[in-house]
Amino acid sequence: MELGRLHEDSHLASREICWPALQVGGASLMAQLSMATLSKTQIDRLGDRLRKGSPSEADLRLLDEYRRSFGEAYETVIRAIREQLRLEPTGRAAKSTSSIIEKLRRESIRLSQVQDIAGCRVIVEDIATQNRIVASLQKKFPKSSIVDRRDKPSFGYRAVHVIPLVSGKLVEIQVRTFLQHLWAELSEKLADILDPAIKYGGGSDPIQKVLLYSSESVEVMENYERDYAQRSPSSIETYRRHRQEFSKAFQNVISALLEENET
């Protein structure tokens, strides 16, 4: 494997991949009215019931209504990103009821605290752009919390999450550099092929070592970009060549792992 040279590239124009709480439209009026009658305590009690065992049909319907109630807040966030950041969203599947239940069972979290029932992802070229986008989002949504996973990665995952509170609903905005996104795609691919637990620190030791080393390589590359690449045109060109090598190395790693899994 060519992890010793992990560096990447792409002449990437900033883009955004988004997943709504609903695949079409916003929340239905009926769902909004239904959820308006539920207190935070009642929502958390629903989460407790979902976490413990086989959910009833009534609880599944209630969870689906809760999920749908994020539609208006989601649309507000998407509109702001389109109009102010000039990024066009592309569709992505909604967070399903089963995914929400799995998260409740995997983590010690209350249903009312789940931040990514609705959310979107913005992918930008480099650290400087990432910082600028985060600052713009904070200015647009002053009631935002920030989770910066660049200095303290989560199982190797690096990104900045901006979580605004819109109309009483949390909406997660993932802001990733291209390199951070490339690593996340590697992790997700391995999870799909080998073991879903890989995304959450599970899986075999060799796989976790691959992910950890490649995540550290992303950090090295982005530190280089931050500290040196902006100093001169030649430094920028060197950085771009390294990014191209990084991308090829990732693809080789994925191919090698796929071949290993088939034998």
Strand extents, DSSP E, 172-243: 172-177
Q: How confident is the model at residue 38 (pLDDT cuts 50, 70, 90)?
A: confident
How many residues are given for the chain?
A: 263
On average, the pLDDT of the chain sits at 80
Q: Are 173 and 137 in contact (CB under 8 A)?
A: yes
pLDDT of 23 = 39
Q: Could you tell me which residues are beta bridge partners of residue 19?
A: 119
Residue 157's pLDDT band (boundaries 50, 70, 90)?
very high
For residue 123, what is the enclosing H or E element?
strand 119-124
Q: Is the pLDDT of residue 169 over 60?
A: yes
Interval 100-126: pLDDT, tens? 999 999 998 999 999 999 999 999 988
Q: How far apart are CA 223 and CA 245, in angstroms?
A: 17
The stretch 44-66 carries a mean pLDDT of 92
pLDDT at 12 exceeding the cut of 70: no
Which pLDDT score is estimated for 108?
87
> What pLDDT score does 189 carry?
84
Residues 144-162: what's their mean pLDDT? 93
Higher pLDDT, 86 or 36: 86
- 246 pLDDT higher than 70: yes
Asked if the model's pLDDT at residue 11 lies above 60, the reply is: no
Q: Which of 89-93, 106-110, 144-148, 226-230 has the highest mean pLDDT?
A: 144-148
Average confidence (pLDDT) over 83-91: 75
User: With pLDDT > 90 as the criterion, what percentage of the chain qualifies?
Assistant: 38
pLDDT at 46: 95
Q: What is the pLDDT of residue 174?
A: 94
* Element of type H or E holding 18: strand 15-19
Instruction: Return the domain boundaries, the chain.
Output: 1-263
Prediction pTM value: 0.79
Averaged over 3-25, what is the pLDDT? 40
- pLDDT greater than 80 at residue 37: no
Given this model, what pLDDT does residue 140 score? Answer: 93
* pLDDT classification of 148: cutoffs 50, 70, 90: very high
Q: What is the mean predicted confidence (pLDDT) over 143-165? A: 93
Q: Residue 26 has which token pair?
A: 């916003």
Q: At what angle do helices 40-52 and 97-106 cross, to 10 degrees?
A: 80
